[in-house]
Structure 1
Amino acid sequence: MALKKLENWQFWIIGNIVSIPIYASQGLYFTSAQYSVFLILAILGWKEWKRKIKYE
């Protein structure tokens, strides 16, 4: 079950990476910046999740 949740972080990261240039190309720079923040949060969340799983 933990593996499935770990994989979800990767889907969020990929989705954010795809969304950022799409929004930027349409001139939606604030939304693109917002998804950049989401990307950083997803990466930090993934690392934290992996760290917690490692110690359990």
Structure 2
Amino acid sequence: MFVSQYTHLCVCVCVCVCVCVCVCVCVCVCVYVYVSYLTGFSQQLLPLPCGQCSR
């Protein structure tokens, strides 16, 4: 039986510098991990733009 699923993983790193005013820069990387149980285990990493930073 062929069973597959997509797992979404998002990692965000934010850096803020405050000198009179605060400037925040966020770098986010989203990855879709494709897991196939038919072939045991396989991955396909697809970098996607992600702007889910709250700060």
TM-score normalized by the length of structure 2: 0.23
**Structure with the bigger percentage of helix:** 1
Higher alpha-carbon Rg? 2
TM-score normalized by the length of structure 1: 0.23
**Structure with the bigger percentage of strand:** 2
